[in-house]
Amino acid sequence: MPVGSFPQGASPYGVLDGAGQVYEWTATEQGKHRHVVKGGSWDDHGGICRPAAWHSRPQQLKHILIGFRLVEVLPFRSSVRVGGVKGE
């Protein structure tokens, strides 16, 4: 799906598209040579594919369902509406 296809799914901070596509690697270690992956993937069932979903994987693992997400931070604009509430 194109970025921003689900604007109703924005977080309270205006973040869009926080889950899906692939699990994202994090810097959080979970045991020896393991790191936490978060976010869910296109291959998951509903309820699992969400930003809070996480588990750990070996840090050297290469898998089609694990990757990274690029994020663009836009300048703050007071006219932006998030969840029906105008930003301050």
* pTM greater than the 0.75 cutoff: no
**79 pLDDT band (50/70/90 cuts)?**
low
Nearest to 64 by CA among 86, 42, 35: 42
User: How far is the CA of 19 from the CAs of 4, 16, 49, 66, 67, in angstroms?
Assistant: 12, 9, 6, 12, 12
81/34 Cα distance (integer angstroms): 39
Given this model, what pLDDT does residue 37 score?
92
> Is the distance from CB of 37 to CB of 57 less than 8 angstroms?
yes
Q: What is the pLDDT of residues 43-58, one digit of tens each?
A: 877 667 777 888 899 9
